[in-house]
Structure 1
Amino acid sequence: MENEKLITEYDTVALDDENNSLVIIDQTKLPGKKEILRLTDIKDIWDAIYLLKVRGAPAIGVAAAIGVYLAAKEIKTEDYEEFYKQFKEAKSYLSSSRPTAVNLFWALDRMDNIVKENKNKSISEIKQLLHNEAVAIREEDIWVCKQIGEFGLTLVKPGDGILTHCNAGQLATVKYGTATAPMYLGHERGYNFKIFADETRPLLQGARLTAYELFESGLDVTLICDNMSATVMKNGWINAIFVGCDRVAANGDAANKIGTSVVATVAKRYNIPFYVCAPTSTIDMNTKTGADIKIEQRPAEEVTEMWYKERMAPKGVKVFNPAFDVTDNDLISGIVTEYGIAKAPYTETLKEIFKRKKNY
């Protein structure tokens, strides 16, 4: 039976080309049910991204690349201009699903460049090139996360206590995760980390996803409510904090799941290093500062009703529910990428990271 497999033995996001489908784990059903979705319609793929059935910046990017490839595959024309018109419509539609995670736009732009750069080829050749690019984006994500894990491991030592917020784990990527990559690699190498996972209100990604995947994988993980993070830091149980992010600005400000900036602020109080694990695809050098990052607003029901048998807030009360907050760069000890660790001043070191990427 499928349910007997560990959650990390499933593909978080994959392409089933033969059946023209995007294959994902429905993360809204976890940890209670391991349900695999096979999505063929672009509207269902849009819904899966918006409704967080697939989530995490890297996984969203991979899903979008596969989704726009599948949409292109269905376009019935041999005329390039008509093909590109319909392709752009599909790209624009998918890009409207989540506004904050830059990987979504990065992946769709990569796919768009394939179409633009090969306008002299036949439509069938362009479709094949789009397939190759979607597969490449997915395979690159595995390498990127492994590299982030290797660099992240240089910042900690065996036996350390590590805190994380939200889910930047394998369920947010293809494999290893970003913030959890050092944890998984350390586990393989006998580091015996003590992991603390914030529950992450209101969607509980830390409780439902991070604690779940780490626990199933045999890591030593303790779940805590978000408002307990200061206590575990003050107790001396935390040596480092690793979080993921959805967008890093050129100055090092980082947008991540709501509550991340609280963790960073408390970490500064207790002199605990706070690291953001960010693939270069998540670093947006065209966004000057965190103030320029559009923050997604989510439905009020996620706060007042979701997860409860009965509504847990008075009817009619106003609700503010931003999906993300921005952690200011002066609270960040380092940004861990697949090409090394950037430290302040980020306006300079992030440029250096991209130079390394170009010369790699």
Structure 2
Amino acid sequence: MKVDGNDMRPIWFDNKTSTAKVIDQRKLPHKIEIVDLPTVDHVIMAIKEMLVRGAPLIGATGAFGVYTILFENRDNTNIKNNTDQCNNLIQSECKRLKNARPTAINLAWGVDRVMNHVLKEQGYDAKMNAALEEACFIVEEEAENCKNIGEHGASLIEEVSRKKQNLTDKTVNILTHCNAGWLATVEYGTATAPMYVAFDKGIDIHVWVDETRPLNQGARLTAWELGKHGIKHTVITDNAGGHIMQHGMVDLVIVGTDRTTRTGDVANKIGTYLKALAAKDNNIPFYVALPSSTFDWSIKDGLAEIPIEERDPDEIRYIQGLDINGKITSVLVPPEQSPAANHAFDVTPARLVTGFVTERGICKALESDILSLFPEQFSTQSRHL
């Protein structure tokens, strides 16, 4: 995507340093800082501390992490000359990578996909080349998937626009939660991809951007993205969504997801469930945009089977921003001794989801409809019955 006229992605491979580089998203929108990931510990830190976040981006980062295992040990002759020892190291470090964050299924998907390619190779250099090739392929594949999500999802916005052509106010008002834009993926985004396509086609759109506490990914990241693209948007408090839906100010809700079951239950940033309830009560379509890599084909009950990450309570207690002197700083909000709980995600049941927007098209939040788009997953279904 373009930022001030320059092409930018949240992750890329630097041929000069032979390592992956990422934007430190903790510093946005006030500062663009690039971080190098030369070791597995750096990759794990980037994922845990949310320098990178968003399911597809976490998956891509984990994929590069497998290459980093080999790059980091390239001068270790014991590892290079002993295939069994090398493979054991790869599997052990991949397990560490996958444990960096629990909810987004893309992390395990990306790590396992590259690891399986690497373990088939015999020589060390062949393993390292295979890891880099597959990681780069995953990055480009996810970017293409998000582009297709945008094309399919734009049809939903176009349909609303057509219905409003005879009205005085023709603007299509979309509500989104958290950040499911290009910063959370590689390009285009998931929830935002249809917005970019519709806007570029000349459709008049406006986006309500939930601030998304506790880390304000909506207010910090989604608003920054949309502003850079020239899309009209308004930042609102998380709890304002129901009010504006009641007053006819929302035509469509589109969100992303970190893990979705084959039956249509959706894990997304905390607060998504409340938006879905409000949308249902006000007869507003509620769509979830995701690439196939974010489906967990092995589970059916989201409430029972999706692990919900609980993060550091200080993310609740402190809030970050730019002070009057232009310095990024954190301030304490509640009483210093008050405890806090920080559940990072919630699960929205399939019954509240109007449909999914995927790289292969749009479907209902039903197992049969989902599998009709991804028939190759029928074999996965049979293994988990």
Shorter chain as denominator, the TM-score bin is over 0.9
Q: Within 5 A, what are the aligned runs for 1:1-360? A: 5-6=3-4, 9-75=7-73, 76=76, 77-116=80-119, 118-119=120-121, 121-157=122-158, 158=161, 159-291=171-303, 292-307=305-320, 310-344=331-365, 346-355=366-375
User: How far does residue 195 in structure 1 lie from its aligned partner after superposition?
Assistant: 0.9
Following the alignment from structure 1 to structure 2, what is the Cα–Cα distance between the partners of residues 264 and 167? 16
Q: Deviations over 1:124-153 (max 9, x none)?
A: 122211111001000001110011111111
Following the alignment from structure 1 to structure 2, what is the Cα–Cα distance between the partners of residues 67 and 306? 30
Following the alignment from structure 1 to structure 2, what is the Cα–Cα distance between the partners of residues 304 and 139? 38
**1:307 match: secondary structure:** strand
Following the alignment from structure 1 to structure 2, what is the Cα–Cα distance between the partners of residues 5 and 132? 27
Following the alignment from structure 1 to structure 2, what is the Cα–Cα distance between the partners of residues 272 and 56? 25
**2:21 match: secondary structure:** strand
Following the alignment from structure 1 to structure 2, what is the Cα–Cα distance between the partners of residues 237 and 209? 23
Q: Deviations over 1:298-333 (max 9, x none)?
A: 111111123285422123323221000000100000
Following the alignment from structure 2 to structure 1, what is the Cα–Cα distance between the partners of residues 182 and 211? 17
Gaps of 5+ in 1: none
Deviates more, 1:270-279 or 1:186-195: 186-195
Following the alignment from structure 2 to structure 1, what is the Cα–Cα distance between the partners of residues 63 and 338? 39
Following the alignment from structure 1 to structure 2, what is the Cα–Cα distance between the partners of residues 328 and 357? 21
User: How far does residue 192 in structure 1 lie from its aligned partner after superposition?
Assistant: 1.8
Following the alignment from structure 2 to structure 1, what is the Cα–Cα distance between the partners of residues 194 and 334? 39
How many residue pairs get matched? 352
- Matched-pair contact (CA < 8 Å) for 2:98–2:108: yes
Q: TM-score, length-normalised on structure 1?
A: 0.93
Following the alignment from structure 2 to structure 1, what is the Cα–Cα distance between the partners of residues 124 and 313? 45
Deviates more, 1:293-302 or 1:157-166: 157-166
Q: Which amino acid aligns with 1:185?
A: V
Q: TM-score, length-normalised on structure 2?
A: 0.88
Following the alignment from structure 1 to structure 2, what is the Cα–Cα distance between the partners of residues 334 and 243? 11
User: How far does residue 11 in structure 1 lie from its aligned partner after superposition?
Assistant: 1.6
- Matched-pair contact (CA < 8 Å) for 1:8–1:213: no
- Matched-pair contact (CA < 8 Å) for 1:8–1:170: no
Distance 1:312 1:104, change over 3 A: same
- Matched-pair contact (CA < 8 Å) for 1:168–1:179: yes
Q: Which amino acid aligns with 1:96?
A: N
Deviates more, 1:121-130 or 1:215-224: 121-130
Following the alignment from structure 2 to structure 1, what is the Cα–Cα distance between the partners of residues 354 and 5? 32
**1:73 match: secondary structure:** helix
Q: Which residue of 1 aligns with 2:383?
A: none
Distance 1:240 1:143, change over 3 A: same
Q: Which amino acid aligns with 1:302?
A: E
User: How far does residue 356 in structure 1 lie from its aligned partner after superposition?
Assistant: 6.8
Deviates more, 1:91-100 or 1:254-263: 91-100
- Matched-pair contact (CA < 8 Å) for 2:118–2:127: yes
User: How far does residue 7 in structure 1 lie from its aligned partner after superposition?
Assistant: 8.9
Q: Deviations over 1:6-61 (max 9, x none)?
A: 39732211111431222111100011101111221211111111111111000111
Following the alignment from structure 1 to structure 2, what is the Cα–Cα distance between the partners of residues 65 and 23? 13
- Matched-pair contact (CA < 8 Å) for 2:9–2:182: no
Distance 1:144 1:88, change over 3 A: same
Task: Return structure 1 stretches of 4+ with deviation > 4 angstroms.
Answer: none
Following the alignment from structure 2 to structure 1, what is the Cα–Cα distance between the partners of residues 195 and 309? 29
**1:294 match: secondary structure:** coil
Following the alignment from structure 1 to structure 2, what is the Cα–Cα distance between the partners of residues 202 and 68? 31
User: How far does residue 5 in structure 1 lie from its aligned partner after superposition?
Assistant: 4.6
Following the alignment from structure 1 to structure 2, what is the Cα–Cα distance between the partners of residues 9 and 316? 45
